[in-house]
Each structure stands twice: as C-alpha cells, then as structure tokens.
Amino acid sequence: MTGANGAGRYAPSPSGDLHVGNLRTALLAWCFARASGRRFLMRVEDLDRARDAGAAARQLDDLSRIGLDWDGEAVLQSELGRGHDAAIDRLAEAGLVYECTCTRADILAAPSAPHAPPGAYPGTCRDRSEAERARERQRIAPRRPALRLRVPTGMAAPEFDDRIRGRVVGEIDDFVLRRGDGTVAYNLAVVVDDAAMGIDQVVRGDDLVTSTPRHIVLQRLLGLPSPPDVEFAHVPLVLGSLGARLAKRDGAVTLADLRSAGASAEKVLAVLAQSLDLAAPGERVHPQLLVERFDPGALPRSAWVWPGLENAATS
C-alpha cells in the first residue's frame, strides 16, 4: 500500500525524555512514511496532565538531532478537545455510552466471562437503571463516573493485517472513553486525532497491539477510515539487559545521557540503524540512506536488547 495522499505519524507523550527505544520507534515510523511517499506528522499527546513532565520541546529536539523531520508544526493533542467531545456525544446519541463507577480493584475482583482476557471489563455497570446510576453517583461523590463504550451486542472482534506481525485477531470489551477526572482516554483520542490529521499509517510499539481492535471498533462506529484503508505496523520493543522493557533504570538510555558520555546523535542513529539491519557495524549513515534501504518485509521481528553504553559511545 502506498500513501501519496496519506500520512504517517509519531505521537510521543511528554512524560519524560525519549529513550533509545522511543527513538527507534520514531525512526521506524519516519522510514515507513517516507519510504511509502506519505507525509510524516508529529503529535504531542499531552492530555494526561498527571503524566506530563513538560518534556515535549526536548523530545522534538532529540528527534531532530538524529535527523528526523516532519511536515508542518507539531500538533498538541490538548488543543483537539472539541473533536473528542463531539465523538463521545455522537456515540452517546447512538446509545453507545454509559457511566461506570468501577475501580480497577472492582474489575479485578469481579467474575469475568469465560475466555475473557485478563482485566477485561465484566460489564458491571452496563445495564444499570437510571435510578441505580444516580445512587452510584451519590455513593462515589465527589469522584465522578467514567464513561465507557457500550460495544454493540454481537459485534465481532476485529481482525487486521499488521505490517510486522501479520494477521492479528483481537478481543474487545466495554472500554473507557473518558476517565472520572474528565480526561479523555487514549483509545478515543488517538482514533479521533488520527482521522482528523489524515493518518492512514500507524506505526507504534507492539505493546499497543492489543489496543488496536478497540481502535478499529471506534473507527467503524464513528464512520472513520479503518483497515484496509488504514494500515498498522506494531514494531518490537527495545529491552534492557534483564529482558524487561527498556527504562531509565537501565542506565544511560536517553540522547542527553549518551551525549554526556561521548556518544553523538549520529552514532546513536547508526546503532539504531544497525539494530534494524539497515546498516553494517560501524557504518556512518544518514536518514535518507535508511529510507533508500528500507524494506518492511526484512525488518527484525523480535525485540532488540539494548547493548549498553559501551557499544553506543564513540571510541
């Protein structure tokens, strides 16, 4: 699939500086878009103020340092609230939204349906009467109910073809659209924002692959583009030396850390390219060269273990 009129994107949350795993995913999203003739857009997902560390400017600077560019100005998700509200209103008018007062502990303690995935919402609040909902609102005050999507009865869980993982069969439940604190949930915001920005190629970490069926359900219920008109690629994560998802506890993993230790942005780019089989060990590369070499079918399918500072620093 090519996308001369479409776009790919990278959408970081400004919860801290990007580490090499984030930079690797951004590089892949950029290569996917540029190699397919798409525009590449940037969106700062700053809705969750509790997690916002004000790192957006540093994140964008780091992406530029390793040679990535994007079309137009970076979009702030916090400025797109009207679209989120309109989508929830539209779903509510169709009878597809209901209040939920369950906590995470309530959900984990409730009996689940046979074969339901761990943590799936058991439907506790789905069929309550308005009187019951009023009593629940009073019970939890001043906390407010969350809003959940009422997935239509009988709606099949979506299947889709992923550019990295192949055929993916998903599972869905009644997921949250807006949290009790008023923050729009990621699953709703990302779908609405991607459609508004003309995104038809979504490249992100494979820790989000289980969310994609939810996104496809929302796309279909809201009449927005969905597969095969939107393609997904969930890329393997970067792991630390102990095999867990890369984090700051793994040492020097941000571009600033590496720069302080003597590793230039160009060196970091070369290490990332090597991890993707796009460069030979020690080869100096630039982003456009990686686009010329880029072949999604030849990308590694397994997680990459960060080799450590000694292999990323300049000699």
Q: Tell me the binding residues for Zn(2+).
A: 100, 102, 121, 125
**Those residues with Cβ within 8 angstroms of residue 147's Cβ, 6 or more apart along the chain or in another chain:** 88, 97, 98, 99, 100, 176, 177, 178
CA atoms of 17 and 256, how far apart (whole Å): 9
| Residues annotated within a binding site | 9-13, 45, 100, 102, 121, 125, 186, 204, 248
Query: From the CA atom positions of the chain, what is the Rg in Å?
Result: 21
Are the C-beta atoms of residues 98 and 53 closer than 8 Å to each other?
no
**By the 8 A CB rule, do 101 and 137 touch?**
yes
Q: Which residues are annotated as a binding site for ATP?
A: 248
Q: Which residues are annotated as part of the binding site for L-glutamate?
A: 9-13, 45, 186, 204
Convert the chain into a string of H (helix), E (strand) and C (coil).
CCCCCCEEEECCCCCCCCEHHHHHHHHHHHHHHHHCCCEEEEEECCCCCCCCCCCHHHHHHHHHHCCCCCCCCCEEHHHCHHHHHHHHHHHHHCCCEEEECCCHHHHHHCCCCCCCCCCCCCCCCCCCCHHHHHHHHHHHCCCCCEEEECCCCCCCCCEEEECCCEEEECCCCCCEEECCCCCECHHHHHHHHHHHCCECEEEEEHHHHHHHHHHHHHHHHCCCCCCCCCEEEEECCEECCCCCECCHHHCCCEHHHHHHCCCCHHHHHHHHHHHCCCCCCCCCCCHHHHHHHCCHHHCCCCCEECCCHHHHCCC
Decide: 232 and 216 in contact? Cβ < 8 Å.
Answer: no
